[in-house]
Structures are given as structure tokens and as C-alpha cells.
Amino acid sequence: MRRYRRQGPPPINLIDQPAGLASRTAAMLIDIVAISLGLTLFTYLTSVVLSFFGLDVIVAELQSSSNTIQGILGIFVVLTVGTILAF
């Protein structure tokens, strides 16, 4: 039986390679853009769904805030207080 040897350089293990500053910065910027787009889309879809069901208080809370994260936290606060008051 013959053993065949591969020609060329050994394969590069990308997992063990330390990431350079440019690739880390690019990955961080991509993460920031993806998170902000995801939060914006989540906020928009949440306001559309809530206005469809006629929950105008939560939609007003969502649209009045200048920050998306504050709006989402405000929605959770309104939902939590509403749930506690319902029981």
C-alpha cells in the first residue's frame, strides 16, 4: 500500500490564529450595526403589532422615547405594571 503525501504548505488552523486589530474592529462595528438594526426592526414590528391590537398606551410609550432601548424597557415596565394590576 502506498501512502500519498499532500503537496504544499500545511493547512492553516484559523481558530488558533490571533485576530488582528482590523478584523476585531470590523467585527465589532458589524456587531454594533447588526444590534442597532435588530433593535430598530424589533421596535417597529412591536409598535405595528401593538397598534394592530389597539394597545395605544404602549405604542405611545414606544414612540415617545428618543432611545430604542429606553422604549423597549418602557414597554416592559408598562407590561409588567399592567400584568400586576390585572391580577
Report whether pLDDT(66) > 70: no
**What average pLDDT score do residues 12-31 get?**
75
Q: How confident is the model at residue 55 (pLDDT cuts 50, 70, 90)?
A: confident
Asked whether 61 and 75 are in contact (CB, 8 A), the reply is yes
Cell digits of residue 75: 414597554
69 CB-near residues (< 8 Å, 6+ apart): 39
Give pTM, 2 decimals. 0.41
The Cα–Cα gap between 50 and 40 comes to 15
pLDDT for position 8: 74
pLDDT for position 77: 73
Quickly tell me which residue has 488558533 as its cell. Answer: 16
The Cα–Cα gap between 85 and 9 comes to 69
Is 17 in a helix, a strand, or coil? coil
Domain boundaries, the chain: 21-86
